[in-house]
Amino acid sequence: MVFALNLPKLSLSGVGAVEESVAVLDAQPVKKAMIVTDKNLIELGILESLYAALDSKGFDYVTFDQVTPNPTVKLVDVGLKFYQDNHCDCFIAVGGGSPIDCAKAIRIVASNDGPITEYNGVGLVKNEGAFFIAINTTAGTAAEMTSNSVITDEVNHVKMVLVDTKQIPNVAVNDPSLMVGLPASVTAATGMDALTHAIESIVTPGAHRLTLPTALEAVKLIAQWLPVAVKDGNNMEARAALADAQFLAGMSFNSAGLGAVHALSHQPSATHNLPHGVCNAILLPHVSALNAQTAPVAYRPVAEAMGGDTSRLDDRGAAELAVELIRKLSSEVGIPSGFTSLGIETADIDGWVQKAMDDVCMGGNPRTLTPEEVYGLYTSAL
C-alpha cells in the first residue's frame, strides 16, 4: 500500500523567516498580494516586519483584516470579493488557524467554481490556486503546512472540514519572534491543540513509521516547553521549541489523519464559538481513555514521550498513565476542566452527536464509536 507524505514546497523556520519568505515571493511571477489577517494582530504590530520586507522590495499589497475566530462561509465570500476587487494574484496569510484557514478557503473559491460549501469533504478541489505564503503566529494549528481548513457554515451551525492537498501553502513560515508575548491563554490553547494533533496521529490506524517519529518528538517538546511558555511568554527558547513542535505534529497528522477528539470538538466550537484548542484539550483525556480500551498499546509511547516511566506497566497501565499526564499538563497550563464553565449545558449535546459522527475526522479514530458513546463522551466532558 502506498503511503503519501504531503508537505509544503518550502518551509522556513527561525528568526528572520518572514523576510526570507518575501524574498521568495519577489522571485515569483506575481504582482499584488492579498494579506489575510485579523485586526488584533495588526494592533499588536505583528505584521510590521512583513510590511517592512514587502516595502523594501516595492511589492504591492492590500490587507484584509476582517478575519474572526472560526471563520464563516459569509466571511469567505467577503474575502473573495476583496481579492477580486483589488486585482490580487497571490495570498499571504498571517495568523493562527483562523486567518490561514480563511485564506485557504478564499483561494479555493477564487480559482474554482461554486461556493465554499461545495468543498466540504476530502479531495474535492480541482485547481490549486494562486501562489500562497502562510505565516504562522501561534504554536498550535499547523495550518501553515497542512491540507486542511475548517470553515463554519453559519446557516447549518456546523464546522466544515475541507481536506485536499491543493490547499497546502506553497511556503510555510514559522518565525518564533512573532509568537513572543502571546497571551498565556492563547499559548495554552494552541499548545494543547498541537498536542492533540500529535496524539491523534500516533493512535490512528493511519499512523506510519514516516509520521510516528515526528509526532512523538512533538509530544515530547510540548510536554517540556508548553508550561514554560505559558509562564513566560517572552522565553524565546520555549517559543522556538513549540513552533517546531506544532510543525512536527502537522507533518504527522497531515498524512496520518486525526480522530474523534477533533470530530467532537468541532461541534461546540461551531455552535458556541469556542476556541478550537480549548475544546480539543477538554475532550482529549476523555476520548483517549475510551480509545485506550481498544488500542492501549498505542498510548505507551505517548506516556513515555510525556516523561512517564512505563517500564513496570502493562499496556493498559501505560495508557492510563498517558491519560493522567494529559490531564496534568492541561491543568498546569490553565485549561478549563470541562465545558460547563464555558456555558455549555446538557441540552446542547443532542444537536452535536450526529454531526460529530459525520465529521470527516471521525474516520481516523482507532475505535469505532457509537452515537451513545459520543453522547457519553460529551457528558463526561461537561
- Give per-residue pLDDT as tens, 341-370: 999 999 999 999 999 999 999 999 999 999
Q: How confident is the model at residue 1 (pLDDT cuts 50, 70, 90)?
A: confident
- Mean pLDDT calculated for residue range 257-281: 94
Residue-level pLDDT at 111: 97
Longest CA span, the chain: 65
- Mean pLDDT calculated for residue range 163-167: 96
30 with 172, same domain: the answer is: yes
In a domain, 123, yes or no: yes
**Are 264 and 209 in contact, with CB atoms under 8 Å apart?**
no
pLDDT at 214 > cutoff 90:
yes
In a domain, 3, yes or no: no
pLDDT at 73 > cutoff 90:
yes
**Are 209 and 256 in contact, with CB atoms under 8 Å apart?**
no
pLDDT, greater one: 140 or 94:
94
pLDDT at 158 > cutoff 90:
no
Q: Which domain holds residue 198?
A: 184-380
113 with 258, same domain: the answer is: no
160 with 199, same domain: the answer is: no
63 with 136, same domain: the answer is: yes
Residue-level pLDDT at 317: 98
In a domain, 1, yes or no: no
225 with 304, same domain: the answer is: yes
Domain end among 153, 178, 203: 178
Each residue of 49-63: pLDDT tens digit?
999 999 999 999 999
A 10 A CB-CB count for 66 gives 16
Domain end among 146, 178, 210: 178
Domain end among 136, 163, 178: 178
Buried/exposed code over 290-306 (b: 16+ C-beta within 10 A; e: otherwise): bbbeebbebbbbbbbbb
DSSP states of 77-88:
HHHHHHHHHTT-
Residue-level pLDDT at 181: 78
pLDDT at 256 > cutoff 90:
yes
Residue-level pLDDT at 157: 86
What percent of the chain is modeled with pLDDT above 90?
Answer: 95
Count up the domains in the chain and report the number: 2
User: CATH number of the domain that 52 lies in?
Assistant: 3.40.50.1970
A 10 A CB-CB count for 35 gives 23
172 with 237, same domain: the answer is: no
